Amino acid sequence: MHVAAIIAAGGSGTRVGGALPKQFLWLGGETILDRSLSAFIGHDRVTEVVLALPPGESVGKLRVVAGGARRQDSVANAFDAVSSSAEVVLVHDAARPFVSADVISRAIEAAAEHGAAITALAVSDTVKQITMEAGRRVIAGTIPRESIYLAQTPQAFRRDVLAKAVALGRGGAEGTDEAVLAELAGFPVHIVEGDIENVKITTAADLDRARQREPRLAVSRIGTGYDLHRLVEGRALIIGGVDIPSERGALGHSDADVACHAATDALLGAACLGDIGRHFPDNDPRWKGASSIDLLRQAAVMVRAAGWEVANVDVVIVLERPRIAPYIPRVREGLANALAVPVDHVSVKGKTNEGVDAVGRGEAIAAHAVALIVPA
């Protein structure tokens, strides 16, 4: 049987907070999205995976479609990309990274037999229905708890069932999940046993709880950065946010602070978040004359949002003149403040290039940086 899995990851995930959508945040050494994908890619009964992502994002060589304004739009876009030979289609929220192989298998079997099925949990608490009286919540009745289930994903459908549910959604119907659309299309949706561990990460508190249940991995990551700028008259020489007295300064779109640029690339590289050009391109007018200390500070925020802490940064400035030794304490302090780490976690060294090449001739300034990050 050909089984396709749609992973819905097209949302912005703003309720978690941070600089990145929640599906790209880190959890136990890998992203939430990667964990969800692994559960389906590694399942022996799943034939193909289609991923719905925010526009412009990609993940390796996976089949990716652009997410829509609503969840049902993202799933509809992904369904269009599913192979025509697929007999059963699973739909799973990327924000449920702890889904098990057994849960996936149960969903597949139920869809093949019944046409539509969702994984769900029976509630154990007494369920009260309320009404508002004079601005206060008052119990209006007690709902038999055996009739209440909490929906999870994956949800699973025979291809023809999901096709009609998607068509109904495109015709104007709305549903918080595909099961709602299948119900509206007239199909009975069956319940299969979910898993209490299959939690959904929606808020920052959810993410904190998820990280606490994961063993702290004894891993760290290292990134390197490099930057070089020509030196010209009429420009300030800024290093680590410090204005260094000099006859010439570095030429660049921003303030051309090589220490900050190299450190930014090192941090982003360690966290696998791209490079400075991706986040702060030199053809974007927003960064014209920008303070590179501010860019470094934003990069540090992105790294922390991805689940990492900055352990230390080591920067080497390569410059013939002027001598920067007297300014190194201030440079270290500026970098440490931007990184939100103690000063003794930042090393800065000054070197010359012994008269070799453009740097050695005093025509340019360069910097190398290494950053070490550890799981938060």
> What integer pLDDT is reported at residue 144 of this predicted model?
93
- The number of residues making up the chain comes to 376
Percentage of the chain with pLDDT > 90? Answer: 79
Pairing verdict, β 242-244 and 136-143: unpaired
279 is a domain residue: yes
Residue 169, Cβ density class (10 Å: 0-12 exposed, 13-18 middle, ≥19 buried): buried
Residues 154 and 204 placed together within one structural domain of the fold = yes
> What integer pLDDT is reported at residue 217 of this predicted model?
46
Residues 250 and 176 placed together within one structural domain of the fold = no
Residues 257 and 289 placed together within one structural domain of the fold = yes
> What integer pLDDT is reported at residue 285 of this predicted model?
85
Cα distances from 17 to residues 20, 27, 235, 304, in angstroms, run 8, 15, 38, 12
Secondary structure, 3-state, 323-366: CCHHHHHHHHHHHHHHHCCCHHHEEEEEECCCCCHHHHCCCEEE
Residues 81 and 205 placed together within one structural domain of the fold = yes
pLDDT over 60 at 87, yes or no: yes
The tally of domains found in the chain comes to 2
**Which whole number is the average pLDDT over 299-319?**
93
286 by DSSP, 3-state: which? helix
Q: What is the Cα–Cα distance from 330 to 26, expressed in whole angstroms?
A: 33
Residues 16 and 101 sit within 8 Å (Cβ to Cβ): no
Name the average pLDDT for the chain: 92
Label residue 218 by pLDDT band (50, 70, 90): very low
Residues 194 and 233 placed together within one structural domain of the fold = no
Q: What is the helix, strand, coil percentage profile of the chain, to 5? A: 35, 30, 35
CA 269 to chain CA centroid, Å, is: 15
Residues 191 and 284 placed together within one structural domain of the fold = no
The residue written with tokens 């070089």 in the block is 228
246 is a domain residue: yes
**Which whole number is the average pLDDT over 225-247?**
95
Residues 226 and 361 placed together within one structural domain of the fold = yes
306 is a domain residue: yes
**Which whole number is the average pLDDT over 362-366?**
96
The residue out of 213, 240, 255 marking a domain boundary is 213
> What integer pLDDT is reported at residue 287 of this predicted model?
84
Q: What is the Cα–Cα distance from 90 to 118, expressed in whole angstroms?
A: 10
Pairing verdict, β 3-8 and 88-93: parallel
316 is a domain residue: yes
Residues 189 and 180 sit within 8 Å (Cβ to Cβ): no
Residues 369 and 350 placed together within one structural domain of the fold = yes
Contacts of 203 (CB under 8 A, 6+ apart): 15, 16
Contacts of 267 (CB under 8 A, 6+ apart): 223, 225, 296, 299, 300, 303, 310, 313, 339, 371, 373
160 is a domain residue: yes
Residues 43 and 166 placed together within one structural domain of the fold = yes
**Which whole number is the average pLDDT over 83-92?**
97
**Which whole number is the average pLDDT over 283-289?**
85
> What integer pLDDT is reported at residue 17 of this predicted model?
65
Q: What is the pLDDT of residues 49-66, one digit of tens each?
A: 999 999 878 777 689 999
Residues 328 and 249 placed together within one structural domain of the fold = yes
pLDDT over 80 at 261, yes or no: yes
136 is a domain residue: no
> What sign results for the dihedral spanned by CA atoms 241, 246, 252, 258?
negative
Residues 200 and 206 sit within 8 Å (Cβ to Cβ): yes
The residue out of 166, 190, 213 marking a domain boundary is 213
Residues 90 and 40 sit within 8 Å (Cβ to Cβ): yes
Range of the domain at 178: 3-122+148-213
The amino acid at residue 333 is: E
> What sign results for the dihedral spanned by CA atoms 180, 181, 182, 183?
positive
CB atoms within 10 A of CB 354: 9
Buried-exposed string 92-116: b where 16+ CB fall within 10 A, e elsewhere: bbbbbbbbeeebbebbbbbbeebbb
Residues 209 and 225 placed together within one structural domain of the fold = no
Contacts of 153 (CB under 8 A, 6+ apart): 91, 92, 93, 96, 99, 118, 119, 177
Q: Whole-model pTM?
A: 0.61
Report the CATH number that the domain containing residue 285 is assigned in CATH.
Answer: 3.30.1330.50
pLDDT over 60 at 216, yes or no: no
7 is a domain residue: yes
Mean pLDDT is lowest, of 3-12, 150-159, 259-268, 309-318, for: 3-12
Report the CATH number that the domain containing residue 96 is assigned in CATH.
Answer: 3.90.550.10
Label residue 14 by pLDDT band (50, 70, 90): low
> What integer pLDDT is reported at residue 31 of this predicted model?
85
Mean pLDDT is lowest, of 8-17, 106-115, 342-351, for: 8-17
Q: Which of 77-86, 196-205, 268-277 is modeled with the greatest confidence?
A: 77-86
> What integer pLDDT is reported at residue 284 of this predicted model?
85
**Which whole number is the average pLDDT over 129-135?**
92
> What integer pLDDT is reported at residue 351 of this predicted model?
96
The residue out of 182, 213, 244 marking a domain boundary is 213
Residues 89 and 16 placed together within one structural domain of the fold = yes
Label residue 214 by pLDDT band (50, 70, 90): low
The residue written with tokens 């601005």 in the block is 135
> What integer pLDDT is reported at residue 337 of this predicted model?
95
40 is a domain residue: yes
Mean pLDDT is lowest, of 29-33, 46-50, 354-358, for: 29-33
